[in-house]
Homo-oligomer: A and B are copies of this chain.
Amino acid sequence: MLLFTNHVFQALDEQVARLNPASVVVLTDSNTVECVLPQLQSQSEAVAAARVITVAPGDANKNIDTVNHIWKELSSCGATRNTLLLNVGGGVVTDMGGFAAATFKRGIRFINLPTTLLAAVDASVGGKNGINFYGLKNEIGTFREPEATIISTEFFRTLTSAQLLEGYAEMLKHALISSEEMTSRLLAYDITEYRDDTLLDLLRESVAVKEKYVTADPLDTGARHALNFGHTFAHAFESLAMQRQSPLSHGYAVAFGMVAAMILSHLELKCPTDWLNRYAAYVKARYGTFAFTCKDVPVLIDFMRHDKKNEAIGAISFVLLEKPGVPVINHPVADANIPAALDLYLDMMA
């Protein structure tokens, strides 16, 4: 159940009352504890009475050691099969908390309260959970739906502009694979100056796009691949940035990756230059660019060949657009067009 509300405390207590758990446990990270938890504890009866498990923040801690810690805390506070876990935080907390809940006593119920725009639009929807394992992202995990995901812009007030833009990249992706009209609207919106009510409406619409694909393909074997639009380039940009020891956030990488994917869509499927130019200009103005040179192009292509979402070794699979709203999955790409797209990216975004 997905709830969009700016009365988050009331919504949460209603959900807890509906589920009638034996006990409630909150999972959060040490950042969220400071920013969000005091308010939750003072305004939600369910949270005020709950035991709190706090983990260290960041993707580097999304691993089996932290899950071990969560399991141990659940055990030691006497959690039963009828305990409810509230995951309060960004995507790291909702991914890891979902996995811990799905596996503790063969599965306890959980509610996600995403506190970042990125988690609200992406990680808290779709039933995927997971942890990183020996350098592989989300290598271990399950599919399991939360009892409810409560999405509220009330949590976003303490986010920086960069954090808002990270989440907005996924909203732009949903628009691009969904319709020209929605794409136009989002390219005219300034996320860093959001108002609660308009953002909540945009979020509802954006999450509905993801839900549509997830419902059509719950186990991610076909149509859902459209949600990977821009991600093959994005992962390569992230890997190159990591190699240079100056990490690039996933949201920014997706914003840049979709520029490259639109260029490739133009080369392969004649995606209109008008849309390409409008989108690239928006990204350049808001996000800047990812800096690389033509010497990096073969390195980036090599990263793409090893992307875990490639099913065939050697070939690179892309999601492309005929135009906004018309995604094409598994399109075979002419080899020469991949370096060509990256070269054109350099021309447009330098």
Q: Count how many chain A residues have C-beta atoms less than 8 Å from C-beta atoms of the other chain.
A: 25
Cβ contact within 8 Å between B71 and A103: no
Beta-carbon contacts of A127-167 to B below 8 Å, as 1s and 0s? 01010011010111111000000000000000000000000
* Smallest CB separation, A6 vs chain B (Å): 33
Beta-carbon contacts of A170-210 to B below 8 Å, as 1s and 0s? 00000000000000000000000000000000000000000
The verdict on A64 contacting chain B, using a C-beta distance below 8 Å, is: yes
Residues from chain B with Cβ under 8 Å of A103 in the complex? 99, 103, 140-142
The verdict on A104 contacting chain B, using a C-beta distance below 8 Å, is: yes
Cβ contact within 8 Å between A75 and B133: yes
Cβ contact within 8 Å between A134 and B75: yes
Interface residues in A317-345 (C-beta closer than 8 Å to B): none
| Cα–Cα, bound, A103→B128 (Å) | 11
Interface residues in A100-123 (C-beta closer than 8 Å to B): 102-107
| Cα–Cα, bound, A136→B68 (Å) | 14
Q: Which residue of chain B is the closest to A220 with respect to CB atoms?
A: B106
The verdict on A72 contacting chain B, using a C-beta distance below 8 Å, is: yes
Cβ contact within 8 Å between B71 and A139: yes
Q: Which residue of chain B is the closest to A76 with respect to CB atoms?
A: B134
Q: Which residue of chain B is the closest to A127 with respect to CB atoms?
A: B106
How many identical subunits does the complex contain? 2
Cβ contact within 8 Å between A104 and B71: no
The verdict on A311 contacting chain B, using a C-beta distance below 8 Å, is: yes
The verdict on A41 contacting chain B, using a C-beta distance below 8 Å, is: no
Residue in B68, B130, B142 whose beta carbon sits within 8 Å of that of A142 in the complex: B142
Residues from chain B with Cβ under 8 Å of A134 in the complex? 72, 75
| Cα–Cα, bound, A104→B133 (Å) | 10
Residues from chain B with Cβ under 8 Å of A273 in the complex? none
The verdict on A80 contacting chain B, using a C-beta distance below 8 Å, is: yes
Cβ contact within 8 Å between A139 and B64: no
On whether A106 and B130 interact (CB within 8 A), knowing A71-B140, A139-B71, the answer reads yes
Residues from chain B with Cβ under 8 Å of A107 in the complex? 142-143
Residues from chain B with Cβ under 8 Å of A105 in the complex? 139-141
| Cα–Cα, bound, A268→B262 (Å) | 75
Cβ contact within 8 Å between A75 and B143: no
Residue in B64, B80, B311 whose beta carbon sits within 8 Å of that of A64 in the complex: B64
Q: Which residue of chain B is the closest to A106 with respect to CB atoms?
A: B141
Residues from chain B with Cβ under 8 Å of A106 in the complex? 128, 130, 138, 141-143
30 pairs from A and B in contact (CB 8 Å cutoff): A64-B64, A64-B68, A71-B133, A71-B139, A71-B140, A72-B133, A72-B134, A75-B133, A75-B134, A75-B136, A75-B139, A80-B311, A99-B103, A102-B142, A103-B103, A103-B140, A103-B141, A103-B142, A104-B139, A104-B140, A105-B139, A105-B140, A105-B141, A106-B128, A106-B130, A106-B141, A106-B142, A106-B143, A107-B142, A107-B143
Given A102-B142, A103-B142; 18 other pairs, CB 8 A cutoff: A64-B68, A72-B133, A75-B133, A75-B134, A80-B311, A103-B103, A103-B140, A103-B141, A104-B139, A104-B140, A105-B139, A105-B140, A105-B141, A106-B130, A106-B138, A106-B143, A107-B142, A107-B143
Those 3 A-B pairs whose CB atoms lie nearest each other, nearest first: A106-B141, A103-B140, A106-B143
